[in-house]
Amino acid sequence: MCGRYTNEMTWAEIHALYSIHDAPASNLQPRYNIAPTQTVDFVVNDKGGSRELIQGRWGLVPFFAKEIGKMTTINARIETVDTSGAFREAFKKKRCLIPADGYFEWTTSEVDGKKDPWLLQLPSGKGFSFAGLWASNDNLGITSCTIITAPAVEHIAHIHGRMPVILEEDAYEDWLSLEAQGDDAKALLLDRHLDNELQFHRVDRAVGNSRYEGTDTKKPIVNSL
């Protein structure tokens, strides 16, 4: 799954990754410990087919919802993303890319039984994109998004059995354009990802508190396995 992530990309880095030319109204701020229900940035194709950076709630609220439900919608499982009532229409019509430069997962310590956080990143902490879906609920006045997850690749599975889909950069247009549908769209997620390139290290347990916004969330713990 993906329940927390980081994004310290600057506007210049966002521009380089997505070729977005119109800067957002406010300067982008580094985010060290992004948690569900918070407002996040994500990239969509506008009506003219150009990419734009918009904001919304992390935790998808379907267009038909009459209230913000209690079900977990921060992640959409690849196995059911095209059939689940919460995600089916978004998978067809509203796909997005969610900028990040790392995400956290937890294991249980054999020493004290507490949760140990791990940071997973691409080499050199390079920025990347989660494959996502988004929705606009006019009745509630909420724009929202979710991150698509898949079974973890082999070298990550000991940390968590699932992981977010991190798309290759050359798959961005195919994902956002909506031309690929059904099994072809799923093939993008399954075959054109960077998950095998992920590296990881232990970080401080303070990250476990969603209110913790310290700049040291990525700092490795020495001698982590």
Confidence of residue 114 (pLDDT cuts 50, 70, 90): very high
Q: Quote the pLDDT of residue 84.
A: 93
Q: HSE on the CB side for 59, CA within 13 Å? A: 16
CATH number at residue 181: 3.90.1680.10
What value does the mean pLDDT take over residues 77-93? 95
Model pTM? 0.94
Confidence of residue 20 (pLDDT cuts 50, 70, 90): confident
220 occurs within a structural domain: no
Read off the pLDDT of residues 127-169 as tens digits, 9 standing for 90 and up.
999 999 999 999 999 999 999 999 999 999 999 999 999 999 9
Angle at 78 (CA atoms; ends 218, 86), nearest 5 degrees: 100
CB-CB neighbours of 128 under 10 Å: 26
179 occurs within a structural domain: yes
Residues forming a β-bridge with 159: none
Q: What's the domain range around 136? A: 5-208
167 occurs within a structural domain: yes
Kindly tell me if the per-residue pLDDT of 25 is higher than 60.
no
Query: For the purposes of burial, counting CB atoms within 10 Å of the CB of 41, is it exposed (0-12), middle (13-18) or buried (19 or more)?
Result: buried
Say how far apart CA 78 and CA 152 lie, in whole Å: 12
Q: Are 82 and 91 in contact (CB under 8 A)?
A: yes
Q: What is the DSSP letter of 167?
A: B
221 occurs within a structural domain: no
Domain total in the chain = 1
Read off the pLDDT of residues 29-57 as tens digits, 9 standing for 90 and up.
899 999 999 999 999 999 888 999 999 99
218 occurs within a structural domain: no
88 occurs within a structural domain: yes
213 occurs within a structural domain: no
CB-CB neighbours of 219 under 10 Å: 14
Q: How far is CA 97 from the centre of its chain?
A: 8
User: What average pLDDT does the structure give for the chain?
Assistant: 92
214 occurs within a structural domain: no
Q: Are 135 and 62 in contact (CB under 8 A)?
A: yes
Q: Which residues are catalytic?
A: 2, 105
Query: For the purposes of burial, counting CB atoms within 10 Å of the CB of 168, is it exposed (0-12), middle (13-18) or buried (19 or more)?
Result: middle
Pairing of strands 5-7, 102-108: antiparallel
Say how far apart CA 140 and CA 63 lie, in whole Å: 9
